[in-house]
Structure 1
Amino acid sequence: MDGDGTRDARGTQADPVPRPAAPREGSALPPMPPVPPGAPPRPDGSAFLAWLRAPRPQAAPGVWRFGHRPRPEQEPELIPARQLLSGALIAFLVGWLVWSLLWNGYLGGWWVLPLELFTPDSWREGNDRVGNAVLWYSYYTLIAAAIALAVGRIGRWGEVWRRYGPPAWRPAAPVAERPPAPEEDAAEWPQLRQAGAHEAAERLAAEARAGLMRDVDHARIGRAWQAVRSGRHSIAAFTAAVLRDGSAACPHPSGARDLPVRNARHDLLTGQVRLGTTADDPRNPYQYRGAGLALDPELLGTSLLAVGPAGSGKTGTVIRPLAESLCLHALAGRAAVVVVGAAGAGLGPAESYDVVVRVGHPESVHDLDLYGGTTDPDEAAAILAEALVGDLVDPHPGSDSRRSTTVLAQLLGPFHAVHGRFPSVPELRGLLDGAPGPLAALRRALTDTGQEPLLRELDARERQMAHPGDVGTVLADRIALLDRPAFAAFFDTSGRTRPFSLRALDHPVRVRIDLPPRGHADASRILARLVLAQFTAGVTVREDRSLFACLLLDDAAGVVTPEAVRGIQRLRSAGAGAVLTLRTLDDVARPLRGPLLGATGCRMALSGLTPWDGQDFAEVWGKEWTETRDVTDRQIIAETPAGKAVHMLRRVITGQAPTARAVTVRQVERERWSASELAHAVPPGHAVLSLTSVQGEHAPPLLVDLRG
């Protein structure tokens, strides 16, 4: 057994997954996962076992679960220090006064009645002075303890002790965790033992104790075991693979067992990557304050939109950690990831990816399939039309994507029928320009091959070209942006190059697509729309939707179209998600801003946002009921001469007129985050992030420190 079922090619797959050659035998042992906080590195497997056995309690969406200590859902009432100390002192004085009155007999002898009722007279009036003294002083101690207990509760002495006593002087000691039972210890692989695979469990447990297993190995073998449980592979094949290769069993097609470098904190046991720390701010729910903020496929499955100006940290603190995390998930057989960004954006080294497409770079090993790997002319026409003219949302004749799809289908269908492939960029440009030579040659080829019924498509295309405002002119102008010397070696359809198709997302593949460098901004936007259109079209027809597929698109300016928004809405049910970043919402057409924010379940507003962008976020986040206090000071008017004298003396001492304070408590509805707060109250390096999981769990907008 060499895979878990998510890596193996299926009969419906058009193109195989590119698999870089990487020898399995003799390869260096991958680096260890991050050591748990406070634990020194050790040469044996104790560091890995400590990480594996660390507590990960269930928590609210977005909370970093590794070592998390849950907090109450409601914030406890915090008494001001002055009020707390003064109340404790007054309670002590009251208790002292009560004890003095009892001791000196000013309150009568009723307080000794319980002693007289429950003890014989001989105990109190006998000649044994020592016994009488013990009895009476024991009773005095009991009464004093009762008084101290009563005034201690009234004066909150326990709170004073916890806040200012010795418990507050020393740091909190870590709670000793109970060693897990064998049937609960993840390092012993109890799920394998319960199913009868004892030999495989023993081999994996021994390698974990010996320090030969890493977090990616544990996650990858766990994924392979899921394939066994689902029936895609037999338990005998799984056991044989584990006994043969140990923790290196069920490898990724690349043979890699880890990334060459990690820059973020990952926990593959929960699938999370830590992005920062939730700020200790009153606007955050109490259970989130001070907790780590993390994302996982359960949250990315609803898609994420991050908006912030240049330099706010979209690439370094959002895209890069997520790309790193999803690449680790891909090595574990859990995910397929496509990362799209400008050349030199720092989206991770090439060694972290299986396929690197560098459009416009002469040394690029892989090419990009312009038609998404499909052989259906109508599907290819729809994808290409979305890339070329999908951003034209004004009432221009060329903005109708359905007309553009029809025009492209009229040319792609006959061409594919004759040549068995789709046209290259220069060939398609010649057909769209309406030059007589290419159209006449295509007509003769159709006649020679007996494809006369398709001549009607060419006849319709030639009739439309004669009308003013033909959409073919717009398509020809857009495809001309890709018909440049810099792209001459790309988008080849003759089979001479190695084109990558997003149809390969049936496999745990890691892909990075570098868009053309400066000077080709329009071409970069066309290619970004092309990748997004191919992604949304490809992931919805996958057979295995348990393999999470994610597209990370750094700088989606000019990419969001009506069809793209509809495609993002379909990703959630297809086991996929998209992460888009924008400098400003002005990069999206006004009619699409609301639908885009509604289609994404996770929304992030970074520091430096403009007020008009903040207004869109404030509207989508809505309002909440909150308690407000209105304090009114009313001047007190004295009626008697003595009262006037007292008021005059108080004014001389305090400098203020005597007032009576009235407090009104109301429930009002206010915005969770207003546009002004988003524009001016978010500190540098912070962001406001709301989350939604694929199960429908919500996290309100949280102020997050992305530097923590």
Structure 2
Amino acid sequence: MENEGTQSSGTGGGGAHGAAPRAQHVPRPAGPPLTPPPMPAAPPPSRAASSGPYPHQSRPVSPPATAGAAHPPAPAHAPAAAGPGLADWLRAPRRSDGPGVWAYGHTPRPAEEPELTPTRQLVSGALISLLAAVLLWSLLWNGYLGGFWLWPLYAFTPDAWNHDTFSVVASYVWYAIVLAVLAVTFGRLGRWPELGRRILAGPATRPVRAEEPDGPVPGSPEDPAGWPQLRHAGLADSAERLRAELGAGRMNDVDAARIRRAWESVLVDPARRGAFADSVRDKGAGACVHPSGARDLPVRAARHDLLSRQVRLGTVDDGQRNPYPRRGTGLALDPAVLGTSLLAVGPSGGGKTSRLVRPVVESLALQALAGQAAVIAVGAAGTPLGPDEAYDVVIRIGDPATVYDLDLYGGTTDPDEAAGLLAEAFAGDVPGTDVRRAATALAQLLGPFRTAHGRFPRVPELRELLDRVPAALGALRQELEAADEHAMLRELDARERQYGSHGDPGPVLADRIALLDRPAFAGFFDTTGQQGRPFSLRSLEHPLRVRIDLPERGHAEASRMLARLLLAQFTAGAVTRTDRSLFAFLALDDASHTLTQETVRGIQRLRSANAGVLLTLRTLDDVPEGLRTPLLGAVGCRMAFSGVTTWDGQRFAEAWGTEWVEARDVTSRTVFADQPLTRAIHAFRKLVTGKAVTTDAVTVRQVERERWSASDLAHAVPPGHAVLSLTSVRGERAAPLLVRLDG
């Protein structure tokens, strides 16, 4: 129903989704994107100059930018586009009456569905009123009702007009007036105007909505295309430069949103005002660019509205299942709802990756280019989460050609913290293993090793220590004795005493670390700084776009262990950030066997840390039974795709609860007539129709029913649809909605 805020894709006029352009579209970018140069090994030291937000379309990947360029060259021109210009997009109204509403051009609907008279009833009423009007006119014309209706004609016409031309004209004028009065009166009684609108507009006519509010008048002082916020602050030159860039087609919506974000940072820290003005003066629409130099993504697979930071997933189904105010409206996600985290469950091939994960990751990547977010996408190698050029850091575990490496210890220097994270990854899914004891055992080795060598052990070194290799333990002990580190020697002694005791997690940890000590991972997880560029999740304070490919094929158990480690590192790192102005987000394309008690508790803490996670599962059976209910309670957004099992549906039905609905019970009973004539009529009717004459008794009552039952979720959700409930970080809630996913 609503395609506002969308646009065709490609540098020409082709549409990525095959949809014809509508009245309102998100504007196209001003030029082809640039492939970002490789990011430095360490995150950029400051994001003061890279604050800002981004549009929607798919385009072919452009050639890489010239190496060593300080910033990307300005686009040469704006390509032809079917949608409106950037100025119209900036002026478009954005309204939202609940979480998940696609705000671009949205018009709120009434809270309740107005009563709609059936077309058949309208036709019969119109015919009856028409016949009544004709009958009344016939009675008047033929004098059966007397001549009282002609009294005004005789009272207001002179006697001299009798039997002449003026008398005839006056008579017909009066007849026309009477006919008009009859038509208006009986037309209102018969609801002729409503029937005419119903016939002209078709059977699916809805009551006319309120007119869409107009945006700012072009050229007015408050026209956003003229950058009034800069003019009011005394930066008229900067505003004029940006207005000229916009008018010349050298600015896209990515630039506009990014520069707006940069100006917001100036309002927070006025010391940045001079740098902002200089950047706008020197670079125009390319001011305050992301450290990668990119001003857009090479390819877009979803529809975005960057001013409201939304990505559109689909359209709320226009059926009785959904509340009337949300029927037919666009469904979108933004940091306000993603900050409560989202759990999606559906079978393989149901569209979890293409219709949910990819659009959300793409939206957060655009916001990262705007200096608003940091996004980490984790999936199996080959998962279509966007091209490499769309990310600043791409880590392919097990691929020798990858440039970046993964910091196994999450960038921390605290042995206890590092041990806790590793224990969640190594032992969090092992039944009967106490994660706290595993963390203690690891800390008893990591602490002494870091003290002796100034770093944490590499995977082979940690495996040797857990396996009690005499040479490794002896060398470590000698280093500690030489450094006179008695406290660390006591830690090492305590670990040796616990070897072989009942419940010792050492053997389990040794078996799990052996999964990473394989030839395929040789050279990875290096802690010496001699191989690769280690990436740490401590970099969440910078607007980074990161994709991590796990070696699911051939190393499934190791991949799940690394996914658990990344989830544990993210939940810990996002909460401990000193600067939480960036929205930090982790998307796990397959979260099977990655959740533990501690990570579920960590997900609950993300809401207050301006962070969130997206977890997808094929079934809730991939989560330990004791964690299924806590997991559904920890996330604020829950999504059930078409094809879920009744067992999974039952969990969602319990989480969504019940609601009061109006139930109508109809009871039919046979009518027995007392009079002979009536009995004869009833007998004739039964002979013709084959049914006895009955009367219906209707009982209306309020009952409490599940919003969505397990059977409905398993069997009544059409392919390409999903049932989604949303909660915002402010506590606003949207009841479960049946959504048609655009893909």
Q: TM-score, normalised by structure 1?
A: 0.90
Matches within 5 A, 1:35-54: 35=81, 38-39=82-83, 47-54=85-92
Contact 2:664 2:700 in 1 (8 A): yes
Instruction: Give aligned-pair identity as a percent.
Output: 60
Shift in CA distance, 22/330, structure 1 to aligned 2, threshold 3 Å: farther
What corresponds to 1:496 in structure 2?
530
Contact 1:21 1:254 in 2 (8 A): no
Alignment match of 2:636 (pick from 589, 601, 606): 601
In structure 2, give the amino acid aligned to 1:578.
Answer: V
Alignment match of 2:721 (pick from 682, 686, 692): 686
What corresponds to 2:544 in structure 1?
509
Instruction: Write out per-residue CA displacement over residues 457-483 of structure 1, whole angstroms, 9 at most, x where no aligned residue.
Output: 122212211413311111111111111
Q: Does 1:667 align with 2:693?
A: no
Q: Which runs of 5+ in 2 are unaligned?
A: 1-43, 52-65
In structure 2, give the amino acid aligned to 1:128.
Answer: W
How many angstroms does 1:108 deviate by?
A: 5.4
Alignment match of 2:95 (pick from 38, 57, 68): 57
Shift in CA distance, 416/335, structure 1 to aligned 2, threshold 3 Å: same
How many angstroms does 1:91 deviate by?
A: 1.9
Alignment match of 1:542 (pick from 553, 577, 585): 577
In structure 2, give the amino acid aligned to 1:155.
Answer: G
What corresponds to 1:527 in structure 2?
562
What corresponds to 2:48 in structure 1?
5
In structure 2, give the amino acid aligned to 1:264.
Answer: A
What corresponds to 1:319 in structure 2?
357
Instruction: Write out per-residue CA displacement over residues 16-57 of structure 1, whole angstroms, 9 at most, x where no aligned residue.
Output: xxxx9662456463996995xx53xxxxxx722233333333
Distance 2:328 2:85 in 1: 26
Contact 1:182 1:190 in 2 (8 A): no
In structure 1, give the amino acid aligned to 2:438.
Answer: S
What corresponds to 2:300 in structure 1?
262
Contact 1:5 1:233 in 2 (8 A): no
In structure 2, give the amino acid aligned to 1:407.
Answer: A
What corresponds to 2:517 in structure 1?
483
Shift in CA distance, 596/168, structure 1 to aligned 2, threshold 3 Å: closer
SS of corresponding position for 1:605: strand
In structure 2, give the amino acid aligned to 1:381.
Answer: A
Matches within 5 A, 1:242-261: 242-261=280-299
What corresponds to 2:489 in structure 1?
455
Matches within 5 A, 1:118-157: 123=156, 126-129=159-162, 141-157=176-192
Distance 2:269 2:193 in 1: 59
What corresponds to 2:590 in structure 1?
555
Shift in CA distance, 55/2, structure 1 to aligned 2, threshold 3 Å: farther
SS of corresponding position for 1:234: helix
Alignment match of 2:75 (pick from 29, 36, 48): 29
Of 544-553 and 694-703, deviating more is 694-703
Distance 1:312 1:492 in 2: 38
Instruction: Write out per-residue CA displacement over residues 667-698 of structure 1, whole angstroms, 9 at most, x where no aligned residue.
Output: 22211111111111111111111111222222
Aligned residue pairs total 681
Shift in CA distance, 22/282, structure 1 to aligned 2, threshold 3 Å: farther
What corresponds to 1:378 in structure 2?
416
How many angstroms does 1:363 deviate by?
A: 0.7
Shift in CA distance, 511/21, structure 1 to aligned 2, threshold 3 Å: farther
SS of corresponding position for 1:633: strand
Distance 1:32 1:322 in 2: 27
In structure 1, give the amino acid aligned to 2:419.
Answer: A
How many angstroms does 1:141 deviate by?
A: 4.6
Contact 1:2 1:249 in 2 (8 A): no
Contact 1:558 1:587 in 2 (8 A): yes
Alignment match of 2:109 (pick from 71, 86, 90): 71
What corresponds to 1:403 in structure 2?
437
Contact 2:50 2:262 in 1 (8 A): no
In structure 2, give the amino acid aligned to 1:97.
Answer: L
Contact 1:162 1:168 in 2 (8 A): no
Of 553-562 and 426-435, deviating more is 426-435
What corresponds to 2:508 in structure 1?
474
Contact 1:4 1:250 in 2 (8 A): no
Contact 2:660 2:704 in 1 (8 A): yes
How many angstroms does 1:432 deviate by?
A: 1.6
In structure 2, give the amino acid aligned to 1:511.
Answer: V
Contact 2:49 2:288 in 1 (8 A): no
Alignment match of 1:464 (pick from 489, 493, 498): 498
Contact 2:49 2:289 in 1 (8 A): no
Alignment match of 1:414 (pick from 429, 448, 458): 448
What corresponds to 2:324 in structure 1?
286
SS of corresponding position for 2:498: helix
What corresponds to 1:12 in structure 2?
none
Shift in CA distance, 209/31, structure 1 to aligned 2, threshold 3 Å: closer
How many angstroms does 1:175 deviate by?
A: 8.1
Distance 1:679 1:474 in 2: 39
